[in-house]
Structure 1
Amino acid sequence: MSVQFKEEEGGKLLVVNVSGKLEKADYLNLVPEFDRLFKEHGKLRILFDMSGFHGWELGALWQDIKFDIQHFSEIEKIAMVGETKWEMGMSLFCQPFTVATIRYFDQANLKSAREWLIAA
């Protein structure tokens, strides 16, 4: 599994790139980084790039649900960028777990996803 993340736009945008299968250990890095950015900047916008993403291991899925519940109101917008129909469906599945506006973009529209996130 590979999870890479970086902050952009002065810390208001968290870019998360995932490939392979998410493992429980991946959340040990992601959660503290998210918490730090939220404490410094308030509500965040997330670009979740799922190019090459193949889902979660069971323990990671539980960590993802816990993360969603704990950070329900701390995310303003999420752009989910992917390559497959199940990834588009995942953007619909995630909506009840957040008050964030969620929008799916095909990989070819990565630039549009970024522009949507940074727009007011």
Structure 2
Amino acid sequence: MTNIHGIHIDVEQVGNQIFMEIKAIGTLTHSDYEKITPLIEDAMEGIEHPIINVYIDGTEFEGWQLQAAWDDLKLGLKHGRKFHKVAIYGNQRWQEVMSKVGGWFISGEVRYFDDSIDAINWLRV
């Protein structure tokens, strides 16, 4: 049986405004973060005061391996002040709880949604 996991990211940038769409699948590993962290940091490079809005699709997300959870925390601590809004679209109660915890590590707003359209509409306001 194959254990499918990973992170897919799309980044759009206009001036200092950055929109990231992230899809997390399965149980994330340290190697997933080794691939994705440079992409996120490259998107912010050269922008003095980026305003970042993020849409996270967690409907196929199952969690993190321990090292990957640490990688996620480090990423949040390093860049958390740059995030304006993070919308987490999910389908499990623990994801809603984690969205509240994630809000402790960024200066912007983090909200959980069980409807993708509501999440995207909130990011556009």
Superposed pair shares fold, TM > 0.5 = yes
- Where structure 2 has 5 or more consecutive residues not aligned to the other structure, the ranges are none
1:75/1:99 contact within 8 Å kept: yes
Aligned residues: 117
Closer, same or farther in 2 for the Cα pair 1:105/1:16, shift >3 Å?
same
Deviation by residue 1:35-58 (Cα, 9 ceiling, x = unmatched): 122235512111111011110001
Map 1:76-87; keep pairs closer than 5 Å: 76-87=84-95
Match of 1:99, SS state, is coil
Q: CA RMSD in A?
A: 1.5
Greater share of helix residues, 1 or 2? Answer: 1
Aligned residue in 2 for 1:44: 52
**Which structure has the bigger radius of gyration?**
2
1:39 partner amino acid: E
Aligned residue in 1 for 2:107: 99
2:105 partner amino acid: F
Compute the displacement of 1:96 (Å): 1.2
- Normalised TM-score (structure 2): 0.86
CA distance in 1, matches of 2:56, 2:19: 10
1:32 partner amino acid: P
- Where structure 1 has 5 or more consecutive residues not aligned to the other structure, the ranges are none
Compute the displacement of 1:29 (Å): 2.1
1:2 partner amino acid: G
Aligned residue in 2 for 1:23: 29
1:38/1:74 contact within 8 Å kept: no
Q: What percentage of residue pairs aligned between the two structures are identical?
A: 26
Compute the displacement of 1:2 (Å): 2.2
Compute the displacement of 1:64 (Å): 0.8
Compute the displacement of 1:100 (Å): 1.4
Choose which of 62, 65, 75 in structure 2 pairs with 1:67: 75
CA distance in 1, matches of 2:108, 2:7: 22
- Normalised TM-score (structure 1): 0.89
